[in-house]
Each structure stands twice: as structure tokens, then as C-alpha cells.
Amino acid sequence: MLLAGSIDVISGSLECEPDGYGTACGRSCEGAADPRHAGGEGGTRSLCLPLMCGIAGSTEDPEGRKVRGMCATMHHRGPDDEGIYSDAASGVSIGMRRLSIMDVEGGHQPLYNEDGSLAVVCNGEIYNHPQLREDLLARGHRFATSSDTEVLVHLYEEYGEELVHALDGMFAFALWDEPRGRLLLARDRFGEKPMFLHERGGELAFASELTALVAVTPGLRELDPVAIDAFFVFAYVPGPGTIVPGVRQLAPGHLLSWERADPRSRERPWWTAGADGLVPQERFESVLAEARRLFDESVRRRMISDVPLGVFLSGGVDSTLVSIAAAKQSSKRLQTFTVGYDVGSVSETAQARRTASYLDSEHHEVTLTQQMVAERAPALLAGLDQPLADRALLPLNVLSEFARPRVTVALGGEGADELFGGYPRYRWLARSRRAESALPAGAARPLGALLRGGAARVGRGERAARRLAPAPLLERNLDWVTSERRGARAALYGPRMAGVGEGRVVADLAARAGGHRGEPTVRWLMHLDQIDYLPDDVLFKTDRAGMLASLEIRTVFLNRELADFAASLDTSVHLAGGGKAIVRAMLPDGVINTSALGRYRKTAFRVPAAEWLRGPLAGALDRQLERGVIYGEGYFDREAARALVREHRSGERDHSELLWPMLALGLWADRFHGLDDG
């Protein structure tokens, strides 16, 4: 029950502080050719996108000029800090751009070991660094700074490349081993921090941002139709490729080593997701006790003493659990934030208030108005490294900006659904597989076809039929997550997309997942989401949304011991009850109104996209249809798009599932197209 007056609900709009980093602050860049520049059409403000911490490096850059150029694209006016190390003899330079306002526990980088033979730049945080430092000090290492990153060079002295196995954190780092002439790049296991690579003519270049690589490398101006196809189907660009041919990502959980003596890049995984189903026979109480221990330890490591913490409350179990654990361990009053809208029917604010009351947190509600959408969305979507059509990007960014003046760090619940079986489709698909196995052999496929055909004829229930009727599990999973986009492609694509095979996107996905023996299981789907959706949509979104506001978002569920533990449990343990059984069991009773939760299908950050496309973003859509490069260059068919927009605008149909990705891609492509070539 909500106790009136017991929580401090602060409603507000975003302020534009004199030295803040808001996208609404209207700073101008050095002209439209500045890669940080976005927007400015149709009377909207042009914005200079602030950026983030980033690392960069090249093996053909003896004076660091190229790296300086890459760091400059990650530049924003304001207090910041740049450091570049160049080994002129080998031609290798590595550099880091860090915003001082982001100085959580870090220091100036690059960082070095005792004799200066190793240099490292790292984007991210090593959460277990206090314990690591203690162990290393006991072994005789000497530290020059209090930065968490410094443990990396000392761990390398002990373990070489295997140092990644000592880390609990989110990281993408580059380490230069001068005596051996070896460059080591590493990315964290889930892909929380980005790393883009480009190789040409024996040179290896890397950067935290695709835009940085593109800005300093001539000739990287093409777009890959296969990647565009995948983007349109999935609403994100799946790794390890990118939308720019020639640029790829260092895959999550991978290492890359490069040696001056043998200058070829060698990539290998240091961790791979397991796809096997496991059936331990433990008592649920001891499973739960272990989960709690690991979860609390993860929160403890991610907190900083004596500094207020923020949590974004969505009303769902993940953020609620995170906030309860944080409040328990924090000596300061927790700051909680929720976003609301002025249009549409989605609201998380009621449950969030209940949780805030329970926590006695300082609770803030931010309204993301249509006005704000009109002002911010185009620049935000255009300015990303790669297009992203996850609609939660905008509310998450707004929350981050609102939180930033009040907290340095926010704790996030990302990853819980993938690791702990939270998505409803896992349960549905598991159930239908069980039902299917009860059918007589050979009846399943024809029955499936019959059901789908029947639904098509009747004109209703097609969605349900496609999802539940017997068919290969991957197909059904895809249908579920990609809505009708797969089928709509043919009508919407232009001639530039002709070369992309229809089945390519599915084949690529199955290949990335490493295939499976026999029929795939729901476990395999969870594994697939972990290696694909999680890094390239969820974590990409979280990283950018937060970093654009200079707020560091620390995920709690992606702690490696907790993730290992989740992986050791059978799917049936996770999917029991309403799904995500372990997470729910860790919640105290009564905090979440479970009857509401029952009706509450996964709606965290569900946004009124349909309304926005009819209202505040109508102008952007129209401008796109008129002048957008994706139509001009023949990727999409202008007339088909126009018809969609008309239907959507008339209220006859809701085409937001199709229009949002097209808008996101179009805005992004226009900015990309407008960049100077090298």
C-alpha cells in the first residue's frame, strides 16, 4: 500500500546545466562535418553528441597521430583527459579519452607496470580490483596509482593473456607488451564494453567507437546490405560484423593478440557460453541461499562507499531486486528513478512507487514528453555508432541524464532475463515443445502448417499460430522476436538489397550459435540470446544511453560467479512458476504486486512508439521519406514506405514495428552518409 507522503516523488524535466552533458543543451560542434554533429534539420536543434570514455590504438602509428585523431572524435568540450602512449620503434600507439566527470575510481591512462615495459588502456571497471590488488601486493607488486585498471598490468606480469580469468568486471582493454612486441586486446565475457577493429594492409586499428575508426580511415563509407537486412529483422546489428564492411567487433569473451614479429591478428575465445541442459538435484533452499550470496556479493563489489547510488525502477522484478540489495548495503539513501510518458497507456510508475516506498528511497519521476521526443530522438538515433531500433534507448538515456547530477553510478538489472530464464517466450516455447513431443511422430509439422494456414485464412491469430504451432524452434523463436518484419521485407526493400538471400539472416544466426545436435532446446535459445541479443542490443543500448549522459551503469547480474551459477541450473529450475524463478524467489514477499505482475507481460521500458510516430516524430519521418539516403540509395522502397506511414498515421494499423527500425536506420544513415571521407 502506498503511504501518502512517505516517498519523495520529484517530478521534473531535464535541466541543462552549464557544464552538463545533456543532448538538449544545444552546443554546437565544429561544423556539420564534425562526426559528433547530428540533427539540425526541420528546425530542430543541431546537437553535438557528447561522448564517452574510449580507447583507441593502431599498430601503424609511431607518433600517435592517428590515435589522437580517434580520441578527438570521442571528444567533448568540458573537463576531460587524454593520454596516448606511442612506441615509436614498433609503430604501436594506444590511447584513451576519459571524461574526468566520469572519474569513478579511475585515474589517468595509459597505466604502466613497475618498469614501464607494459602499458594498458582500459574502458570499463574491474569490480574485484581491491581483492586483486591485495593479492598482488602480497606477491611483491608495486602500484603507482589507486586506479582499478592498474591491476591489469600486474596480472599480466603473472598470468599473461590468462589474466582475464581473474577479472570480475566490464572491460575492453588494450595492453602493449613492449619487450615481447605484443599487443593484447580483450573484451569482457558478455560484451558490456565495445571494441571495434579494422585491419588493412597489415595494420590493425581498434577503437571503442565505430565512428572513431571511420573518421580516421579513408574508404570506410560503404554499408553492408547483409548487415542492413539483419538490422531490419532484429532491430540491432548482430555482431561480430558491423554495418560497415571491413569493420568488425572483437566478439565478447574473446582475446586478440598481435605481434610485431608476426603481424597477424590472432583471435581466440577465452570463454564460451555453454548450451547444455543440466539437472542438479539440490534442495531449492540451498540453491536460493547460494544465489543470494552471489548476488549480494556482486552488488557489494559494484558499489562505491560513501557515494549515492541510483537505480532505475521499471516496476519489474529485476530492477526491484537490484534496488533492494543496493539499499541494504548502502550507507547513503538510495536514489531511484522512473520514467513516465504523457501519451499512450504504458505506465510503470505505480509499481515503482510501491517499491520506492518499501525502500524509503529518494524517488524521482521523469516525464518523457512528446516535446522531448521531438527534440532529442532524431539526434540520439542518428549519433549512435551503429543503428539501434531498441525503443528503450530514449527513456534510458533520459533517465541517465536526469540521474547524473544526483548520482555517479547506477546499478542495472540487465542480463537477468537471458541468464535466469525471464522472457515469457522461453516458457511458451518449452510448453509447446512438451506438447509437441506428445504428438504422434510425423504429425507435428503438418499440424503446424495446418494451424498457420488456418489462421491466415481466418485472418486472425496468425501471430499466436506462428509462435506456437509446431515448427523448428529457431523459426518460432525468430518469429516471436522479430514480429512481422521478416515477412514484410520483400515488399519494403529496394533494389540495393536484392543480393541478400532470404534465409541468410537465419543461417547466420544459427552459425553464430554454433549449431546444435538434434532439436534445439530452450536452453539453446537462452544461450543464443546471451551471445547475440544481450551484447548487441541490450548492453550496447545500456552502455550508450548511460555514457552519453556520463553516467556509468553497472550491471549486477553479469557478475561471472553469478552467471556461472545460473548456467549450472537446469532450465526447469529457471522456468518454474512465472519464469525467472530464482530472481523472484529472492524478492521479499509483498513488494511486487504479483497479480499485477501476472498481467504484466514484459513491459519494462515499453514506450508509446506508435503515438510518437504519429505525433512528435512525424516530421522526422516525412523528411526521411523525402530525402532519406536509404530511399535515395535504393535500400528501401520509398513508395512502399510512404504507404506504411499513411496507414499508420491514419490510425488504421499500427506499423511501429516496421517504421521504428526504418526511421532509426534512416536517421543514422543520413549522418553516416554526410561524414567527410577521411
For binding to other proteins (CB under 8 A), which residues are involved? 131-132, 135, 139, 158-163, 165-166, 269-274, 276, 278-282, 285-286, 288-290, 292-294, 561, 564-565, 567-569
State which residue, 76 or 560, has the beta carbon closest to other proteins. Answer: 560
State which residue, 165 or 463, has the beta carbon closest to other proteins. Answer: 165
Answer for the pair 530, 563: CB distance below 8 angstroms, yes or no: no
Shortest Cβ distance from residue 577 to other proteins (Å)?
Answer: 20
State which residue, 17 or 276, has the beta carbon closest to other proteins. Answer: 276
Per DSSP, the three-state class of 612 is helix
Answer for the pair 120, 149: CB distance below 8 angstroms, yes or no: yes
In 10 A of CB 242, how many CB atoms?
24
- Please identify which residue in the block is written with the cell numbers 512525424: 618
Strand order across the 335-341 sheet = 10-12, 362-368, 335-341, 309-312, 409-412, 552-555
The gap from C-alpha 369 to its chain's centroid, in whole angstroms, comes to 24
Answer for the pair 485, 492: CB distance below 8 angstroms, yes or no: no
Shortest Cβ distance from residue 560 to other proteins (Å)?
Answer: 8
Answer for the pair 649, 621: CB distance below 8 angstroms, yes or no: no
Nearest of 380, 349, 344, 392 to residue 605 by alpha carbon: 392
State which residue, 568 or 593, has the beta carbon closest to other proteins. Answer: 568
Element (H, E) at 417: helix 416-420
Task: Count CA atoms within 13 Å of residue 476 on its CB side.
Answer: 28
Distance CA 36, CA 28 (A): 10
Instruction: Report the interhelical angle of 656-673 vs 618-627 (nearest 10°).
Output: 60
Shortest Cβ distance from residue 654 to other proteins (Å)?
Answer: 42
Answer for the pair 352, 339: CB distance below 8 angstroms, yes or no: no
**299-304 long-range Cβ contacts below 8 angstroms, 24+ apart:** 299/325, 299/326, 299/329, 299/411, 299/556, 300/329, 301/127, 301/128, 301/168, 301/559, 302/127, 302/409, 302/411, 302/554, 302/556, 303/329, 303/330, 303/409, 303/411, 304/104, 304/105, 304/408, 304/409
Among this protein's residues, is 25 annotated catalytic?
A: no
Distance CA 364, CA 351 (A): 13
Answer for the pair 240, 92: CB distance below 8 angstroms, yes or no: no
The gap from C-alpha 212 to its chain's centroid, in whole angstroms, comes to 19
- Please identify which residue in the block is written with the cell numbers 495446418: 450
Distance CA 271, CA 189 (A): 7
Sign of CA dihedral 228, 231, 233, 239: positive
∠ CA(69), CA(70), CA(76), 5° rounding? 90
Distance CA 380, CA 44 (A): 12
Distance CA 231, CA 485 (A): 10
Q: Of the listed 25, 29, 53, 122, which one is catalytic?
A: 53
**Contacting residues for 141 by C-beta, under 8 A, at least 6 apart:** 114, 154, 157
Judged by phi (left if over 0) then psi (alpha if -120 to 50, else beta), residue 112 lies in beta
Answer for the pair 347, 339: CB distance below 8 angstroms, yes or no: no
Shortest Cβ distance from residue 271 to other proteins (Å)?
Answer: 6
**Contacting residues for 285 by C-beta, under 8 A, at least 6 apart:** none
Catalytic residues: 53
